[in-house]
Amino acid sequence: MRLQLARHPITELRWGDFTRLDNTTLEVDQDELRGIIQGDQRIESVDLQLVRPGENCRAGPVLDIIEPRAKEPDASPDFPGVLSSPAIAGSGTSHVLEGAAVTVLDGTPPKGPIRSVLEMSGPASEHSPYSSR
């Protein structure tokens, strides 16, 4: 089976009592998400924040910015080799949350200038593609 992308445009993202997609609004259960992340023994701590383009926010150092994608339930694992054992990828249906992004920050104290910063507003935001999505 070939890879198929089920694209879901996201225009609003907010915390909710449970995780669900309602048309273009994604509600996320913050406690459930925190529990999933903290279940990985490699994660030392987690701080979850929702930030929208245009908000007064500067974050860094940025390790990665990822468009959220997930396989169908009971399908092959998400991000094989990272979140699960290595497996063949690139087939089945992946759900894509277009317009949303997960930003992973390095929580250790910087040892010099921070070169990877996410600017969501102000003049510097013009140089960040993620400040306008």
Of these ranges, 17-21, 90-94, 105-109, the one predicted with the greatest mean pLDDT is 17-21
pLDDT at 32 over 90: yes
The pTM score is: 0.83
The phi-psi region of residue 30 (left if phi > 0; otherwise alpha if psi is between -120 and 50; otherwise beta) is: alpha
Q: Residue 130's pLDDT is what?
A: 73
Q: What span, in angstroms and rounded, lies between the C-alpha atoms of 87 and 5?
A: 19
Phi, then psi, of 126 in degrees rounded to 5: -65, -20
What type of residue is 105?
L
Q: Among the residues of the chain, which ranges form H helices?
A: 30-38
pLDDT at 133 over 60: no
Domain that holds residue 33: 3-131
Which is higher by pLDDT, 18 or 131?
18
Question: What is the three-class DSSP state of 14?
Answer: strand
Give the model confidence (pLDDT) of 107-131 as tens digits.
888 888 877 888 999 888 888 777 7
Domain count, the chain: 1
Question: What is the three-class DSSP state of 108?
Answer: coil
